[in-house]
Amino acid sequence: MSLMSLSPLDGRYRDHVEHLSHYFSEYGLMRCRYQVEIAWLLRLSECPDIPEARSMTPIEKALLLSWREKFDLADAERIKSIEAGIGHDVKAVEYDLKNRLGNTSLNDMREWVHFCCTSEDITNLAYSLMLKDGVQAGWLPLAEQLVQTVTEMAVTSATTPMLSRTHGQAATPSTLGKELAVFGYRWNRQLAQLSQAAYLGKFNGAVGSYNAHVAAYPEAPWECISRDFVEGLGLTWNPLTTQIESHDALAELFHIVMRFNAIAIDFARDMWSYISLGYFRLAAHAHHVGSSTMPHKVNPIRFENAEANLSLSSTLLAHLSSTLPISRLQRDLTDSSTLRNLGTAFGHGVAGLRSLVDGLSELERDEQALARDLEPAWDVLGEAIQTVMRKHGLPTPYEQLKTLTRGKRVTREALETFIQQLDLPPEDRQRLLQLTPATYTGRASLLVRHLSAAGGAIVA
């Protein structure tokens, strides 16, 4: 970690996000651009509609594929040095590949590198590849780990009664597991949408109309060639664009991640509150300091850190989502600078998720504290009593319970006395008399069955 780092992602949180550098760094962008340029050169050599681009021998193909697979920092630094001289990042990739071909039997194929391409043909595909890989391999595993952890917590605490709070006030009891399951279910919906996300790519020239392509090969089926090439990279073809791919799909993806983040922020705040209420105890590490002046403090800093980083992630993703789909006429370069912040947006997201996962590992459920919170909350049974009174047509049930309970300390004895004087069938009266704050949880424990880490149902 460098103490001179400008961003905490490259300093304080480096260990949490370092794996993202393979995807979202400038090196990662160069690597993907190289991948696209090589893939296009191979595609041209195999295209019968472009006869002047000769076929390659198996050895020549293997050489190009090895360059693609073994691309490393030395390759990126060599490209960067070319860019420093010519002032163009994509052209530097093209020149580097041409230089390498010049020392091989593929020297005669040098001018087929970047054939009919505008820089954005290469760059939009490179960004889609790096984003797809970065999300799938860099962000998603941690998101899934979080959901799995909360799912397991929900299952093990499915029957643990808990006093709910609406508007911060005591309310109808639930179970801890059911309340945790709510978050798992919400996250699973977003992950299901993420699994269907499309990563679009275009490959149609300077203004999206195959102008140079048709000038060189007027009879070639350029739309089919373009589609096959984009889909061959594992992306979804966009047939209708300006010079740039319109980035609408990126915005759609970012909104899914923003919703996941929003749920995670909601979760972090609730967990913070449950810790404050004593429902969970935080691990007290002997070598850690909670406060510089209060020795007893063990603070929920993981959840506070998560909230901060997830908020930063969503703020950046919101900016990306609102600006990337906008481009003046057929092209301006605002998206070029904006897209370079993908790593920052996902880096803060990963730092936040890491804090949540680490924070959960330091918690221990305190069932005695949960029980103590419920024990005196007899007033919450007012809902059940007035509902049964309504069932049997008794007069002003809500108003009677409001007079009995609102703003007062309600005891079990007071409720029993009230229930005994009600004109109710014996079975309903007895059921109400047997209720306690800890047993008035409805079907909360059963609802956890709707949750699983994969988004399916837990079989009861």
Query: For the residues 95-102, what does the mean pLDDT come to?
Result: 98
Query: For the residues 223-247, what does the mean pLDDT come to?
Result: 97
Give the whole-angstrom CA distance, residue 33 versus residue 241: 20
SS3 sequence of the chain: CCCCCCCCCCCCCHHHHHHHHHHHCHHHHHHHHHHHHHHHHHHHHCCCCCCCCCCCCHHHHHHHHHHHHCCCHHHHHHHHHHHHHHCCHHHHHHHHHHHHHCCCHHHHHHHHCCCCCCHHHHHHHHHHHHHHHHHHHHHHHHHHHHHHHHHHHHHHCCCCEEEEEECCEEEEEEEHHHHHHHHHHHHHHHHHHHHCCCCEECCCCCCCCCHHHHHHCCCCCHHHHHHHHHHHCCCEECCCCCCCCCCHHHHHHHHHHHHHHHHHHHHHHHHHHHHHHCCEEECCCCCCCCCCCCCCCCCCHHHHHHHHHHHHHHHHHHHHHHHCCCCCCCCCCHHHHHHCCHHHHHHHHHHHHHHHHHHHHCEEECHHHHHHHHCCCHHHHHHHHHHHHHHCCCCCHHHHHHHHHCCCCCCHHHHHHHHHCCCCCHHHHHHHHHCCCCCCCCCHHHHHHHCCCCCCCCCC
Is 237 in contact with 227 (CB distance < 8 Å)? yes
In 3D, which of 363, 361, 301, 309 has the Cα closest to residue 176? 363
Give the whole-number percent of the chain exceeding pLDDT 70: 95
pTM for the model: 0.93
In 3D, which of 372, 182, 360 has the Cα closest to residue 279? 372
SS3 174: strand
300: confidence class by pLDDT, cuts 50, 70, 90:
confident
298: confidence class by pLDDT, cuts 50, 70, 90:
confident
Residue 2: per-residue pLDDT = 72
Number of H helices, E strands in the chain: 21, 6
Residue 460: per-residue pLDDT = 40
Residue 76: per-residue pLDDT = 97
CATH superfamily placement of domain 137-166+175-368: Fumarase/aspartase (Central domain) (1.20.200.10)
SS3 94: helix
Query: For the residues 26-46, what does the mean pLDDT come to?
Result: 97
Q: Is the pLDDT reported for residue 432 higher than 50?
A: yes
Residue 254: per-residue pLDDT = 98
Quickly name the fold that domain 14-117 has: Fumarase C; Chain B, domain 1 (1.10.275)
The residue extents of the domains of the chain are: 14-117, 137-166+175-368, 378-436
Q: Which residues are catalytic?
A: 167, 291
Using CB atoms within 10 Å of the CB of residue 452, give its burial: 0 to 12 exposed, 13 to 18 middle, 19+ buried: buried
Query: For the residues 306-330, what does the mean pLDDT come to?
Result: 95
Give the whole-angstrom CA distance, residue 352 versus residue 312: 9
Query: For the residues 228-242, what does the mean pLDDT come to?
Result: 97
> Which span out of 93-97, 285-289, 292-296, 341-345 was modeled with the highest average pLDDT?
93-97
CATH code for the domain defined by 378-436: 1.10.40.30
CA-CA-CA-CA torsion sign (147, 149, 152, 157): negative
Query: For the residues 137-147, what does the mean pLDDT come to?
Result: 97
Query: For the residues 126-145, what does the mean pLDDT come to?
Result: 97
Fold matches, 14-117 and 137-166+175-368: no
- In sequence order, the β-bridge partners of residue 201 are 237
180-207 residue pLDDT tens: 999 999 999 999 999 999 999 999 999 9
Question: The tokens of 186 are what?
Answer: 């919400």
